[in-house]
Amino acid sequence: MKNSSLKPGPLDGIRILDLTSVMMGPYCTQVLADMGADVIKIEAPAGDTSRGVPPFRDSGTGSQFRSMHRGKRGIVIDLQKPDGLTAFMDLVGTADVVVHSMRPQAVAKLGIAYADLVAANPSIICCNFLGFGRGGPYAGGAAYDDIIQACSGLVMLQDELLGEPNYIPTVLADKVTGLTGVYAILAALLHRDRTGEGQDVDVPMFETLTSFVLIEHLAGQGFEPPIGRPVYPRVVTPSRKPFRTADGYLAVLVYNDKQWRRFAELAGRPELIDDPRYATLTARSNNVLEWNGTVAEILATRTNQEWMQLLWAADIPAMRLNRTDDLFTDPHLAEVNFFQLVDDPVDGTMRFPKPPVQFSRTPGGFDRAGPLLGEHTVEILREAGIDESRITAMLANGSIAQPERPPRA
């Protein structure tokens, strides 16, 4: 069960069976586990491939996996064996949500499609992470983050900005889709709470990231007939980049009209306040290249420290540039205790980011790293009411597995 040393989270009492792998689905269930859900990570005997992403310590499982699955429990079940499938369906009877990232044809072949799950638990919610929505010509196709970044328009937006297509250097499609899965599951749980009805929920990567991209880039295509390209000019102009100062670089965005007036005053350039090219947000948007050039010219005249003091005092957004290394010594993150240390009996002390959302009454959180492969197999099956003789038989025939090393206390 969920470790009782934690204060309950808002999802305390919700059980989620997590059949996902790699990043998208596990990120979704990480958020749900942080909010107090009892998330059971179900793996095939070979384990989630992302266990092999380095660096490692003694467990042989990388820090990415151990962070992504913090607070979850782990069980190994071979769904291709009849006893394994039966044990899984026993667990479905105890669960609120099943989450998977397998293609529909694979789910149907295993016998764990929504219709199969409903037979074991009529109120079950099933969340299907898909590459592409059902029914279209891409349905059932293989999809990874790079592929979805490309077909959603995101990669070619980089071409508009940089002069060549490029991937965003984070797995954006996986993580945006994972977060979309979180709100879809929560909405389905709310509906079930009101009506008693479970349901089947599809969260397709392509449609999700395309919707995400078009929030600001819908532009002229928002009208019929269209009145312009689907591009938001401010964010794709080549001049949208950190500004050089007298001794380095700063991120600065002088966005609204009040900020522009203050900036012109700080610069000693009052004539810019009423300059028709820059006087309003609309004017600055229509003259974005020239506007950024003027800001760059001004920022080059003082040091980082001088500008940070002036801009913050004037409530104009500005920050120094952090490398990922710098995040671990950032004074703000230190002050808000953003990182949490966990004492793991196998890998020693580990450091993970805390949940960014804080609840005043139901904080939730985590107090352990992601599980070893099959670490809680026997514990979870006992909770489901499966007797010892059946567990012993399944261990013997390979339908389930537990780690060779003793599980943690």
Could you identify the residue written with the tokens 């491939």? 49
Which pLDDT does position 88 carry in this prediction?
98
pTM: 0.93
Please give the CATH architecture assigned to the domain spanning 15-212+337-401.
3-Layer(aba) Sandwich (3.40)
Check if CATH label 3.30.1540.10 holds for domain 243-320.
yes
Q: List, in sequence order, the alpha helices (H) in 93-204.
A: 104-110, 114-120, 145-151, 154-162, 172-195
Which pLDDT does position 404 carry in this prediction?
74
Distance, in Å, from the CA atom of 23 to the CA atom of 205, rounded to the nearest integer, reads: 12
* Residues lower than pLDDT 70 in the chain: 1-5, 405-409
Helical (H) or strand (E) element with 397: helix 388-397
Q: Which residues are the active-site residues? A: 174
Sketch the domain layout of the chain as residue ranges. Answer: 15-212+337-401, 243-320
Which pLDDT does position 405 carry in this prediction?
60
Which pLDDT does position 347 carry in this prediction?
95
* DSSP-assigned beta bridge partners for residue 339: 353
Which pLDDT does position 4 carry in this prediction?
54
Pairing of strands 243-244, 200-204: unpaired
* Percentage of the chain exceeding pLDDT 70: 98
Neighbours of 92 (CB within 10 A): 21
Neighbours of 374 (CB within 10 A): 24
Phi-psi category of residue 344: left, alpha or beta, with phi > 0 → left and psi -120 to 50 → alpha: beta
369: three-class secondary structure by DSSP: coil
